Amino acid sequence: MRSAGENKKHILTKSLSACTGYFYETVEAFITQGQIILTLYVASQAIIYR
């Protein structure tokens, strides 16, 4: 059986890894959206300055 301190640490580690996973998913989605926006922006600039 784990001590209270170890249990707390385990919960903290678990929630931290969940946060990290969520963070990376968000960043990945943000980068994907950024690439789409950038592509649209570059395309619109190319059309304007043609």
**Is the pLDDT at 1 greater than 80, yes or no?**
no
pTM score of the predicted model: 0.50
Looking at the structure of the chain, the number of domains it has is: 1
Q: What is the dihedral of CA 22, 35, 37, 29, to 10 degrees?
A: -10
* DSSP codes of every residue in 2-49: --HHHHHHHHHHHHHHHHHHHHHHHHHHHHHHHHHHHHHHHHHHHHHT
- What lies within 8 Å, CB to CB, of 10 at 6+ separation is 2
Give the 3-state secondary structure of residue 1.
coil
Tens digit of pLDDT for each residue in 9-47? 888 788 888 888 888 899 999 999 999 999 999 999 998
Residue 48's domain comprises 1-50
